[in-house]
Structure 1
Amino acid sequence: MSSSLCRRWLFSVISPPITKRYFSSSPAVLAKRVEKKKAPSKHQLALIAKRKAAKRGKDAYANEKMSLADAISVLRAVEVARPNSTYELIIRTAMSRGAPIPTGRINLPREAKPRKEYRILVFADGRQADEAKKAGAHVVGGLELVDAVAEGKHNSCTTILCTPSLIRSISSKLGRILGPRGLMPSERRGTVTDDIEGYIQKLQGTTEWRGDKTGTIKMPIGKLHFPIEDVVRNAKQFVLNVKRATGNLSDAVAEAEAKAQKGKNSSKSVKPVNAIIRILLSSTQAPGIQIKGL
């Protein structure tokens, strides 16, 4: 045996066999993919709204109603330590899109709060100006008052009336000044009228109520120390007034006028009814109680 063969043999015996190394590679870690959520369809949105409505309907107190007299007794018990608290009647109406905000005036049999003192400014001339002064208007004048009002000299006035003959002359100069303050005379609100004296008398003998943008109307109707009969009388009178103003109740004269107008112009649209959804009675520190039978 040659020396080279001996070396190979000895090397193979002494040294362990060389094992093969196998390299494996794993795929790179992928970044987390954020999948965009699909917007729910109209059908899915309707189902979600239906489920939420069903859950709200399961409220144990949702359908609980009391008579007005019982609700007054409960609130008296809750407010026993506050005899000067105020009863507040809350009427929620179904405001449709574009419907005017409900508003009106009322003379309660027994006022819960002192009537607001009005400071009245009247744009009128001639005989109507004299009538306005006799009726109790604080500031009366014609177009000469426009500059004074624009300069803010009569900012203390809370109500501004105008005759139809002068409204065009003052609207161009005072519309941007009085409009944002809610004082600009308008036919819709009844502050543009020929019967200035009658409007002032109505203003001084009644209290104004006004709903908010959602159609919720709130009105104080009595104090806790009032007899129950007075509170009931005030509440019924106020609900009747709101029903007439929102189209839920009309008297015989209004129905006759509506029929006559319908006969003259059949294409004229009928004024929509602002339906009353709920009537609640609450007080200063007590929860609202749903009222039935009003």
Structure 2
Amino acid sequence: MAKLTKNQKEALSKIDKNKIYSLAEGSALIKEITKAKFDASVELAVRLGVDPRKANQMVRGVVTLPHGTGKDVKVLALVTPDKEAEAKEAGADFVGLDEYLEKIKGGWTDVDVIITMPSVMGKLGPLGRVLGPRGLMPNPKTGTVTMDVAKAVAEVKAGKIDFKVDKTGIVHAAIGKVSFSEDKIYENAKELIDTLNKLKPTASKGIYIKSIFMSSTMSPSVQLDTKSV
């Protein structure tokens, strides 16, 4: 077993293993136990009572975090020439079409989100093997395939994220930075959890939100009370 550092021991000593914290308590504690020299991301891991192998229990959606993610999201807008100006004005970092399709074909994926138009999706199909594994393939369900390119770019830049339950039934999402105030971490986390509750599949029986853990890039995780949200 790897030897714990002084900071890791100190962080663990502040967590009561027998306690399940409220969302407000967890939001404060995560700031206290993170000693990284950089602005660490704060993440939630929410275990759902669903079977992701069944199509009628797949949970996927988008949420606009009230205080953003704290991350400078790099956006590529794959659009026709008539949409380029509005994409640039809305804040897209890269705008174009064929030249970027060629770059992606060559393995370039130095972006966080790709936004495109329905008429362009046919050209993106062959790039699925590059974009799919990286979670970059645009999807109408997440608002990244749209005619309103400017709105989509602006929303992503403002803190709109998409999430999807993994094969083990857990949703992982970054909901801010340790430099955020406790209130901002709390409100961002609550927005994600409220959104998940609205997406409960009718086929899901029993307890839907089974557990919630909050952690930062460099901290142990803190278990949250599912009833406190």
State the TM-score, normalizing by the size of structure 1.
Answer: 0.53
Number of the residue aligned with 1:190: 143
Contact residue 280 and residue 290 of structure 1 kept, 8 A: no
Choose from 64, 84, 101 the match for 1:106.
Answer: 64
Match of residue 288, structure 1, among 212, 220, 223 = 223
Q: Report the alpha carbon displacement of residue 276 of structure 1 after superposing the two structures with TM.
A: 1.9
Distance 1:220 1:148 in 2: 30
2:90 equivalent in structure 1: 135
Alpha-carbon contact 1:160-1:183 (below 8 Å) kept:
yes
Aligned pairs (5 A) from 1:9-158: 65-69=20-24, 75=29, 79=33, 82=35, 88-96=43-51, 97-98=53-54, 99-109=57-67, 114-126=70-82, 128-143=83-98, 145-152=100-107, 154-158=108-112
| Cα gap change, 1:93 to 1:167, in 2 (>3 Å) | same
CA shift in 2, pair 1:200/1:279, >3 Å? same
Task: State the one-letter code of the partner of 1:107.
Answer: L
Tell whether 2:117 aligns with 1:163.
yes
Please say if residues 124 and 140 of structure 1, whose CA atoms lie closer than 8 Å, have aligned partners that are also in contact. Answer: no
- Structure number having the greater strand percentage: 2
Post-superposition Cα deviations, 1:11-44, rounded to whole Å, max 9, x if no partner, equal: xxxxxxxxxxxxxxxxxxxxxxxxxxxxxxxxxx
Secondary structure of 1:188's partner?
Answer: helix
- Matched pairs, number: 202
- For 1:273 and 1:131, locate their aligned partners in 2 and report how far apart those are by CA, in whole Å: 41
Q: 1:272 to 1:205 in 2, by over 3 A?
A: farther
* Residues 63 and 192, structure 2, Cα contact 8 Å, conserved in 1: no
Partners of 2:213 and 2:221 within 8 A in 1: no
Given that 1:146 and 1:173 are in contact with CA atoms closer than 8 Å, whether structure 2 keeps it comes out as: no
**1:262-273 mapped onto 2 (5 Å cutoff):** 272=203
Cα distance change of structure 1 residues 208 and 136 upon mapping to structure 2, 3 Å threshold? same
Q: Is the 8 A contact 2:142 2:162 kept in 1?
A: no
Question: Residue 78 of structure 2: SS of its match in structure 1?
Answer: strand
> Which stretch shows the higher mean deviation, 175-184 or 64-73?
64-73
How has the CA–CA distance of structure 1 residues 290 and 200 changed in structure 2, closer, same or farther, with 3 Å as cutoff? same
Residue matched to 1:279: 212
In 1, distance between residues paired with 2:100 and 2:42? 42
Pairwise CA distance, 1:85: 7.9
One-letter identity of the residue aligned with 1:123: V
Distance 1:156 1:65, change over 3 A: closer
- Matches of 2:191 and 2:197, distance apart in 1: 10
Which residue of the partner structure matches residue 216 of structure 1? 170
Q: CA deviation at 1:101?
A: 4.7
Tell me the secondary structure at the aligned position of residue 288 of structure 1: strand
- Long gaps (5+) in structure 1: 1-60, 249-270
Provide the TM-score with structure 2 as the length reference.
0.65
Q: 1:95 to 1:230 in 2, by over 3 A?
A: same
Q: Which has the higher contact order (CA 8 A, sep 6+)?
A: 2
Question: Within 2, Cα distance between the matches of 1:221 and 1:139?
Answer: 24
Aligned-CA RMSD value: 3.9
What per-residue deviation string (whole Å, max 9, x for no partner) do you get for residues 177-203 of structure 1? 433433333323332211111100001
Measure the CA separation in 2 of the matches of 1:197 and 1:89. Answer: 29
Partner SS state of residue 166, structure 1: helix
Q: Alpha-carbon deviation of 1:88? A: 4.7
State whether residues 222 and 234 of structure 1, in contact with CA within 8 Å, keep that contact through their aligned partners in structure 2: no
